[in-house]
């Protein structure tokens, strides 16, 4: 008699059923409620809610600041992960633990702490304020807050890939006469690029929906430093539930399209790496 294959998890049908149940409960049902609430509006009401100058200005700030912060974290996160993996120095464990601080720190606390540091009378802001550089209560403060909360996503996705990378390939490239730049671009970068794109997508997605750490440092000035999540909260406080869901639906659609493009780039990179 052949050995009976034992599985740790239940069979496919039961596992699939549980997966679809929890997916529907946590994701699909709330999104359906968002869509149905928006459908209660006429097209004119919907367009007026999502295209007013104040809302459009918040779109530009939210997506622009999120994209800029994610790009900064793409390079800064790679640098931090590289240092943590490739070098040994005193206090390395402390630095490694501090990377996860934005994960553990409540977002409101992070916003208050950044405001205290970057305001005109703060520890850091007081050195920039005399030169006309304001780091808080403007779009610059929004970008800084989003960089702070997004950095760990890039570091933690790239770090294990760098740890598993085969250093023999780098040594072989150097022995064949490759420069440091050539070794990085042709040996290391293709290996870590999918992880970099994943970290970028996670940081970008987190930044789009960030609220707590931003409202304290943004200043929340209409048409200047007001983010879209704050617009949604303001509409909810005014009992304009349909308008709030309409703006949220636009945010959802734009975020989905951008993340779809990033995932398509990841899939293309995997196929390209597999074909080489």
Domain ranges of the chain: 60-226
Angstrom distance (rounded) from CA 135 to CA 128? 8
pLDDT, residue 7, reads 60
Which of 226, 190, 192 lies closest to 211 in space, CA to CA? Answer: 226
Q: Is the Cβ–Cβ distance between 144 and 135 less than 8 Å?
A: yes
Q: Tell me, what's the pLDDT at 80?
A: 94
- Residue 234 pLDDT more than 60? yes
The runs of H, that is alpha helices, within the chain are 12-23, 29-39, 43-50, 53-86, 92-99, 101-104, 107-118, 125-128, 139-164, 167-175, 180-183, 189-208, 212-218, 228-237, 241-275
C-alpha to C-alpha distances, 144 to 21, 67, 68, 82, 246, nearest whole angstrom: 39, 12, 10, 22, 28
- Tell me the percentage of the chain whose pLDDT exceeds 70: 93
pLDDT of 9 > 60? The answer is: no
What CA–CA distance (Å, rounded) separates 130 from 244? Answer: 40
CA distance 154 to 261: 18
**Residue 263 and residue 261: Cα distance in Å, rounded?**
5
Q: How high does pLDDT run on average in the chain? A: 85
d(CA 261, CA 241): 30
The DSSP output letter for 240 is: -
Q: Are 149 and 207 in contact (CB under 8 A)?
A: yes
Quickly name the fold that domain 60-226 has. MetI-like fold (1.10.3720)
C-alpha 269/C-alpha 275 separation (Å) is 10
pTM for the whole structure: 0.84
Q: What is the pLDDT of residue 1?
A: 46
Alpha carbon 261 to its chain's center:
15
Q: Output the pLDDT for position 254.
A: 86
Please state the φ and ψ torsions of residue 222, each to the nearest 5 degrees.
Answer: -55, 140
| HEC per residue, 106-153 | CHHHHHHHHHHHHCCCCCCHHHHHHHCCCCCCCHHHHHHHHHHHHHHH
**Residue 58 pLDDT:** 93
pLDDT > 80? residue 79 = yes
Asked if residues 204 and 258 have their Cβ atoms less than 8 Å apart, the reply is yes
pLDDT at 10: 58
């Amino acid at each position: 008699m052949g050995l009976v294959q034992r599985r740790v998890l239940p069979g496919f049908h039961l596992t699939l059923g549980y997966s679809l149940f929890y997916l529907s409960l946590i994701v699909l049902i709330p999104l359906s409620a968002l869509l149905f609430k928006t459908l209660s509006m006429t097209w004119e009401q919907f367009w007026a809610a999502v295209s007013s100058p104040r809302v459009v200005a918040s779109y530009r700030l939210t997506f622009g600041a999120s994209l800029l912060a994610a790009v900064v974290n793409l390079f800064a996160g790679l640098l931090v992960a590289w240092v943590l993996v490739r070098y040994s120095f005193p206090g390395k464990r402390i630095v490694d633990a501090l990377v996860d601080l934005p994960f553990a720190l409540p977002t409101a606390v992070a916003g208050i702490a950044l405001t205290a540091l970057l305001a005109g009378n703060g520890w850091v802001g007081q050195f920039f304020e005399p030169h006309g550089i304001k780091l808080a209560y403007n779009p610059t403060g929004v970008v800084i807050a989003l960089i702070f909360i997004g950095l760990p996503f890039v570091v933690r996705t790239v770090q294990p890939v760098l740890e598993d990378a085969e250093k023999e390939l780098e040594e072989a490239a150097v022995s064949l006469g490759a420069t440091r730049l050539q070794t990085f671009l042709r040996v290391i970068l293709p290996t870590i690029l999918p992880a970099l794109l994943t970290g970028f997508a996670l940081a970008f997605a987190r930044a789009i929906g960030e609220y707590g750490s931003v409202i304290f440092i943004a200043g929340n000035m209409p048409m200047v430093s007001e983010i879209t999540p704050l617009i949604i909260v303001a509409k909810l406080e005014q009992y304009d539930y349909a308008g709030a869901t309409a703006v949220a639906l636009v945010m959802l659609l734009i975020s989905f399209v951008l993340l779809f493009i990033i995932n398509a780039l990841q899939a293309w990179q995997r196929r390209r790496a597999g074909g080489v």
